Each structure stands twice: as structure tokens, then as C-alpha cells.
Chain A
Amino acid sequence: MPEVVVRKMVTCVEEIFHEGGPIAAPPLRRAAAIAVIRNPYAGFYVENIAGFMDDLKPLGLEMARRLVAALGGDAKVVEGYGKGAIVGAAGELEHGALWHAPGGYAMREVLGGAKAIVASTKKVGGPGTRLDVPITHINASYVRSHFDAMELGVNDAPRASEILLALVMTTGPRVHARVGGLKASEIKGEDGLR
């Protein structure tokens, strides 16, 4: 199995007090944990890549733990999550797909059994590429107030032979959410959807 070689770790936290409406107390917080790793499959086509997903699990756990720490240390405050990847130019989109299983596993593990699928996105791009990571409620995908996104990126990554991996967590609904739909208070919690 290839080694997971980390060049850089980045943590970003946004606190949003308002967007022109009433000031939120406490403010909405969004946090992103980013790891820039070497792409062991860059530069050539490799058929058998799936084993790398298990190799990424410890890194995923480390990133999820950093996110909870960045949000104050209590996993109970986390209400939304998402994940994403940017593959450097010498890799392929499928390398980004390697993040689905370990990224989702890591956040569920740290959050203690979140039920909803983890929203995700990925692309191939050069250094400085920005990624809009989609966010949904951790227990019920249809909670409309928690549909959100966080833009992230690192100016010097990913280089051609790297992959940028990202996990995102939020502490609540959009700061002025008011377009109806399923509310967090109405979650049944049976199927991860409602």
C-alpha cells in the first residue's frame, strides 16, 4: 500500500455574525480541514487504486478531530458536514473519489454516528484552485436550513503530483435561513434523509 505523505495541513474557521439581517448569537461557524498529500498514482494510469482508501483513514480521523477542536472541542455542536478533493494535474478525477469512504468514515467516527450521506464534490485543477464544498445536515439530508457550502483552497496546492483533501463541518443553519422546508427540529432520524 502506498504511504500517505502529507506536505501541508490547513485549518480555516469562519464565524458569521450576520449577512445584513439580525446578528446571530452565537454566530454560525464553519470550519474546514485540508490536507495536501502526495498522489501515489500521479503520472500514469493505475488500475488497482482502491487499497489507498484504507490508508487514508488515519489521516481522515486526524482531520475530523482537528475540525472538532477548531469548533471548540465538543462534537455535539456540529450540525452540518461535507467533503471534497482537488486532484493535481498529473492525476485523474477517480483519485479524488478515493476520499469518499475514508472522509465519510472519519467524520461519522468522530461525530458518533451521524446518519446522513456526506455531501461531496471533487475536481482536477492546478495550484490555487477553489472548491465549493457542499454541506448538509449530519442526520437528515433534507433539512433545508442546513444546505450550505464553504469555499476553500490553498494558493500553492495541489501541485501536479498532489491531492488536496478537505473535510468541512458547521455548527448550524445558514445565518438567516428562512425558506421553509424540513426543519432540524422535525428530523425523524430513521433513514438519514428526513
Chain B
Amino acid sequence: MNPIAPTKAKIRKIATFVEETHQEMDRVISPPARRAAAVAVIENPCARKYVEDLSELIAIGEELGELLTQRAVAALGIPGASCESYGKAAAVGEDGEIEHAAAILHPKLGTPVRRVLGKGAALIPSSKKRGGMGVVLDIPLGHKDAAYVRSHFDGMEVRLNDAPCANEIMVAIAVTDSGRPLARVGGLTKDQIKGEDGLR
């Protein structure tokens, strides 16, 4: 499996992370709370110079939306429709600008994410930053069908020691099969979702 040739993005590396929480404060979480992130390290075609038109990055975002969501869902080993929350993030190497992360994340990445997951009326929470190798990405997480589901407000940290290089961008998508392990601060619960507006 080599996604280099057919992709618009020049991919140096893809990493996947799966976390299972079996216990929290000595309480058993059964089944364990599981979440996965897929991260691509790509060349930034707009590095080192000001580029007015970021459509190349926007197209890359669309492509990575599908690729990374498929990878993350496969890593969880469940159907896309069974995923409960999601999030996205990007880190731009030092020769790029924060707007490059915005071009990848915001215009076109979401549609293929929702296609892979079957649903996803809620905004996909996101974060972005510029940084050097080993920078930490905290991917925000929210319920995919109703942004106000409080039990699913969460975050997942990912990092790669050798990325991003100055002329690279790290793009990450995270999905989960559940909310926080011992959620108990009230608010909207997932069984109360109306599913009309992506909020409640």
C-alpha cells in the first residue's frame, strides 16, 4: 500500500495511533474507551514564499480527509458509522504560514470525513499551529452529530519526533468510539441528540 503515486500530496510518512483506556482512577472501563488518530506528513508546496492562491493545499485537504479518516477508522476496527466523535488538526513547519493549515483543514477536508463516517452533522473541531520537529498536536474532539454533547468534549495528543520539517505540514484526523471514560459533568447526553442542526 503506497499512497504516494496517486496522491496530490507528497507524503513522507503516515502514522496511526490507537489508545484504549481500560481503567481510570482504578475504575474499570468496560468496554474500554477507544480512540484513533491518523497523521500524514506532507511536503508544503507553498513553503518559503508568500502564495496568494492556496487552492493546491485545499485540494490536498480534500484528499487527506478521505485517506486519514479511512486509516483512523481502520485502526479502530469498527464501521465508520459507529464512530462517535471526531476532530482534526494541523501543524505547519517553520517555513510555512498558519493559513496553510487553514487551507488544508477548513474548505474541503470535512466532506470526505463525513462520507467515510456516514454521518457528521456537527462542526469538526480543529486546532492548528506552527512548530518544529516534535511539536505536539492536541486534536480537539467533539460528538460528530451534535456538538453540544458534553460527554464527548475531549482531546487527543499526537506527536512525531521527526516532523514537521521546515517545509512540511502534519495533518491529523482523530475518531473515537466513545466519550470521556468517566464523564459525569452533566450537559447534553448522546441519547438526547435530536440531530437536526448538528448542535443538539
15 A-B pairs, CB-CB below 8 angstroms? A8-B20, A11-B16, A12-B15, A12-B17, A13-B15, A13-B16, A14-B160, A17-B4, A17-B12, A18-B4, A18-B12, A19-B12, A27-B2, A151-B161, A155-B136
Closest-by-CB residue of B relative to A10 is: B19
CB distance from A119 to the nearest CB of B (A): 18
Residues of B in contact (CB 8 Å), total 23
**A interface with B by C-beta (< 8 Å):** 5-19, 23, 25-27, 130, 151, 154-155
- Contact between B2 and A25, CB atoms less than 8 A apart: yes
Q: Is the interface of A mostly helix, strand, loop or mixed?
A: strand
- Contact between B18 and A26, CB atoms less than 8 A apart: no
**Contact of B21 with A by CB under 8 A:** yes
A-B contact count (CB 8 A): 61
Closest-by-CB residue of B relative to A13 is: B16
- Contact between B16 and A12, CB atoms less than 8 A apart: yes
**B interface with A by C-beta (< 8 Å):** 1-2, 4, 11-24, 32, 75, 136, 157, 160-161
- Contact between A10 and B18, CB atoms less than 8 A apart: yes
| Docked pose: A10 CA to B4 CA in angstroms | 27
CB distance from A89 to the nearest CB of B (A): 18
Contacts of B13 in A (CB 8 A): 14-17
Give the residue of B12, B21, B157 whose beta carbon is less than 8 angstroms from that of A16: B12
- Contact between A17 and B21, CB atoms less than 8 A apart: no
Given A14-B160, A19-B12: A8 touches B4 (CB 8 Å cut-off): no
